[in-house]
């Protein structure tokens, strides 16, 4: 009705069926619009239990990375465990095993034979002949040249009181020096062990390149911790008389190359 003239403007009739149809139509339009908005926008990511394709892909990638990291951590823990038990704790070595990996008892290692193909033999001959005329020095060939390619820094100058003797299980040399004198790193490397042991007191070990490890035992104090990178000649510990297997202030110094002990006196002058 027009309020001014009271004239009838619009005329419609409501019934129960018309109201139900109207409400149903409005509800249907609302549901369709809501589904459309959720499907084409990022609102669907806020729905509990829903994950996008990118998120699922990232989950699979993260699982693969975690597996790889777990394998790498297990290998590192095994390496450090063998290193501590055999080299740093003074336990005897068994034969010439590298002690870096555990053998699988289900595999017959003695029955494994290595055969070189004709192409492999030709490649080896070609490479060997090429190396005979190679006059350029490559730092990454130190494994081929051995320890003679290293320039060692003397960790401590003093009097050698006990030399290297593998038959008596004395895998290093003992150097007596002045009290409170600093012990220095023989090469650049990273500290992989820096702890107290019952038999050898304060011990520090450094991992160098080309699978070379230097060990310093019976220290009175340690100046570096595990994970520190040290330069050749930098102080890493103080000479001492710690541990049960000692008879006076000295440094017990060891060199391990490819998991085999070597005589440090063959490469370093201590006196």
> What's the CA angle centered on 210, arms 100 and 213, to 5 degrees?
60
For residue 173, what is the enclosing H or E element? strand 172-176
* Residue 207: both structure tokens together: 């991992």
Higher pLDDT, 201 or 128: 201
CATH of the structural domain 148-266, one choice from 2.60.40.1840, 2.40.50.140, 3.60.150.10, 2.70.70.10: 2.70.70.10
Q: Could you tell me what percent of the chain has a pLDDT over 70? A: 78
* Residue 14: both structure tokens together: 């409501």
What's the pLDDT score for residue 7?
83
pLDDT digits (tens, 9 = 90+) for 205-245: 999 988 899 999 999 999 999 999 999 999 999 999 888 87
pLDDT digits (tens, 9 = 90+) for 20-78: 998 999 999 999 998 888 877 777 767 776 666 677 788 888 888 898 888 888 888 88
Is residue 145's pLDDT more than 60?
no
Question: Mean of the per-residue pLDDT values for the chain?
Answer: 80
Give the single-character DSSP code of 104: P
What 3-state class would DSSP assign to 186? Answer: coil
Pair 270, 158: CB distance under 8 Å: yes
E strand intervals along the chain:
159-162, 172-176, 182-184, 189-197, 201-208, 212-222, 229-230, 235-239, 251-257, 260-262
What's the pLDDT score for residue 97?
45
The whole-number average pLDDT for the span 174-196 is 91
The full set of domain ranges for the chain reads 148-266
Q: What share of residues in the chain are helix, strand, coil (percent, to 5)?
A: 35, 25, 40
184 backbone dihedrals φ, ψ, rounded to 5°:
-115, 155
Q: What's the CA gap between 96 and 81, in Å, rounded?
A: 18
Q: What's the CA gap between 89 and 80, in Å, rounded?
A: 12
**CA gyration radius, the chain:** 37
Judge if pTM exceeds 0.85.
no
* Residue 96: both structure tokens together: 């010439």
For residue 189, give the nearest of 219, 218, 210 by alpha carbon. 210
């Amino acid at each position: 009705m027009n309020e001014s003239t009271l004239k009838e403007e619009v005329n419609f009739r409501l019934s129960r069926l018309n109201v139900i149809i109207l409400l149903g139509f409005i509800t249907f339009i609302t549901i369709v619009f809501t589904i459309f908005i959720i499907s084409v926008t990022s609102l669907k990511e806020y729905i509990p239990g829903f994950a996008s394709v990118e998120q699922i892909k990232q989950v699979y990638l993260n699982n693969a990375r975690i597996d790889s990291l777990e394998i790498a951590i297990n290998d590192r823990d095994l390496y450090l465990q063998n290193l501590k038990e055999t080299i740093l704790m003074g336990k005897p070595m068994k034969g010439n095993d590298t002690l870096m990996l555990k053998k699988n008892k289900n595999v017959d290692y003695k029955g494994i034979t290595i055969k070189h193909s004709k192409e492999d033999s030709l490649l080896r001959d070609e490479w060997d002949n090429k190396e005979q005329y190679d006059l350029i020095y490559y730092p990454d060939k130190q494994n081929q040249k051995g320890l003679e390619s290293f320039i060692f820094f003397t960790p401590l100058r003093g009097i050698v009181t006990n030399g290297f003797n593998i038959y008596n299980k004395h895998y290093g040399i003992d150097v007596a020096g002045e009290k409170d004198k600093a012990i220095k790193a023989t090469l650049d490397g990273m500290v992989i062990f820096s702890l107290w042991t019952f038999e050898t007191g304060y011990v520090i070990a450094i991992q160098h390149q080309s699978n070379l490890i230097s060990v310093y035992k019976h220290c009175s104090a340690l100046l570096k911790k595990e994970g520190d990178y040290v330069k050749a000649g930098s102080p890493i510990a103080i000479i001492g008389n710690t541990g049960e297997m000692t008879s006076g202030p000295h440094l017990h110094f060891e060199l391990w190359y490819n998991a085999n002990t070597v005589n440090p006196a063959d490469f370093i002058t201590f006196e």
